[in-house]
Structure 1
């Protein structure tokens, strides 16, 4: 009877038994989490990815195959409803999902709440350890852009996955140590390159890089939109245009998941260089070095432009 129900479910979802058999034991929602999991699980198993490259967690709609993968996964790692709100109703009914934004000792920051801000205010954004008392959207969900938080995520995964892979505990811990060593080496190089660029003017597409900026001490001179759901009003657009004019030669960074029409309109006729930052690392491999390569790519794109000013 149970087998018949399973096949009926597959038919309703439009999937074959072979496709169902491919569902991973460990499922991550976004690419950076998959990269961290791949480093921790290297030589043990391959973590799956819910959202395909190019998709945005802000606008994602679940497919039938996604629902089956969620149902069959033994462990699901997501940021939390602050980022993947579309998963809240589904995952609150499952006891195998880990909302990483809310694990103990995670250093979190508040999301900017108003368009009326000055660039220097970003440097005073407070960090805090996770509290269970929070409102969706009040916390900055882009925790993976802090190498410190990436270490916390990796440690959580290594400890958590020991339940799924009890025979591989030593390898999980060895992989964790290798991951942390890799981040230390990366951090030394990036700190040295970014240190001379801290006062260079740049602008970003949305308020999504606060953890990276806090960690490396760089500050944007302006932000086009606080989030992908909140588009800037006319007053803010005029303010940004004035800031760009005042900055003179500067760098403006868009993202591959979103059309840069607003940026192109704002920068027309101004002495700015436009680059692309990819906070999700869509073009980066998921191997054990994938996470470090994603952070290095963000830092490299930022530095390549700022070094020309």
Structure 2
């Protein structure tokens, strides 16, 4: 970005300072749950920052875009677009379940002092709309990565309806002609809109788990960053296209790996994989709903057990960052095993040690799904 004079810098600092104070005073921020207890992780970028095709041009720190992103997938996508041409920092610490996180007054001040805030939207970050409203008229550019995508409503499975009926009637055909611009309608045939609040407004925000939809999020972020920093637009475009090529390859790997599986349904503890299921002709049968902390009722548990026995399910999936107790209970009841299907809402310490990123974890998901669907 262009350098500012000292007087303009002082004025800018005062404006930012006043905006931060105003936000701290006026916002009562509510996240998707209570803060995760005992979390010792600190804010900052993941240790295994994604590689980028960015040019090796050295940009003075004062001239770089200051970008805050909500949680890990948004960091991965944004950092692969900017490379070293921007400072990108993730707000939700590693190892923290994003549904549980709330921004502190300090976080709010840092957001207001940034140039850009990138968040997923579709109800994932319950606090995001308040930030957008609270910074209206300021210099902060907010980017809702899922904007323009068709957001699915909570399915019958997630609302505790009959799973066997959903299995018979709700299987998504893998033969549909997708143009991957994703003018999809939800499974009830109605157009859905982004929701707010603790329960995501009854909508499914997990669009990043379908590589083809992740591509659209990358394009949305790239367009916004190019508008925010026109002098770097060409580099952002080059980086974006290089990363999109990797996502397209990943999408093809999922198509090839899942098209001829023995079964098409899978049981998962958290209803996070609806978009992935829709893309590849699968049926997600969630034990609970969209929130990973939602506890299923006794009736829902019995229904899942009945479905698993009737359909000879041998693997019950649970996710990282939350307890596997519900999946363990059902697996023990039917003599099945458990396995991880990762919603990539944050990297674990093990992921970091193994230098995994979005692409690597998604390939692990593909391997796990392929194994379970071919048992």
- TM-score (normalizing by structure 1): 0.82
SS in 1 for 2:334: coil
1:249, CA displacement in angstroms? Answer: 4.6
Aligned partners of 2:265 and 2:150: how far apart in 1?
A: 27
Q: Which residue of 1 aligns with 2:28?
A: none
1:67, CA displacement in angstroms? Answer: 2.3
Aligned partners of 1:170 and 1:299: how far apart in 2?
A: 33
Question: 2:131 matched to 1:67?
Answer: no
* More deviation, 141-150/109-118: 109-118
Question: 2:244 matched to 1:180?
Answer: yes
- Unaligned regions of 5+ residues in structure 1, if any? 13-18
Q: Which residue of 2 aligns with 1:110?
A: 153
1:24, CA displacement in angstroms? Answer: 7.4
Question: 2:94 matched to 1:53?
Answer: yes
Alignment map for 1:219-258 (pairs within 5 Å):
219-220=283-284, 222-228=285-291, 230-258=294-322
1:32, CA displacement in angstroms? Answer: 0.8
SS in 1 for 2:123: coil
Distance 1:213 1:235, change over 3 A: same
Q: Which residue of 2 aligns with 1:139?
A: 203
Distance 1:249 1:87, change over 3 A: closer
SS in 2 for 1:98: strand
| One of 162, 167, 170 as aligned partner of 2:226 | 162
Aligned partners of 1:132 and 1:257: how far apart in 2?
A: 25
| One of 241, 265, 280 as aligned partner of 1:216 | 280
- TM-score (normalizing by structure 2): 0.68
Aligned partners of 1:133 and 1:33: how far apart in 2?
A: 19
CA contact (8 A) 1:201 1:251 kept: no
Q: Deviations over 1:246-271 (max 9, x none)?
A: 23352111111111112222221533
1:126, CA displacement in angstroms? Answer: 4.5
SS in 2 for 1:217: coil
Distance 1:50 1:128, change over 3 A: farther
SS in 1 for 2:204: coil
Alignment map for 1:1-309 (pairs within 5 Å):
25-80=66-121, 82-95=123-136, 96-101=141-146, 103-104=147-148, 106-112=149-155, 114-118=159-163, 119-120=166-167, 121-123=169-171, 125-126=187-188, 131=193, 137-197=201-261, 199=263, 201-220=265-284, 222-228=285-291, 230-280=294-344, 282-283=347-348, 290-307=357-374, 309=375
| Count of residue correspondences | 293
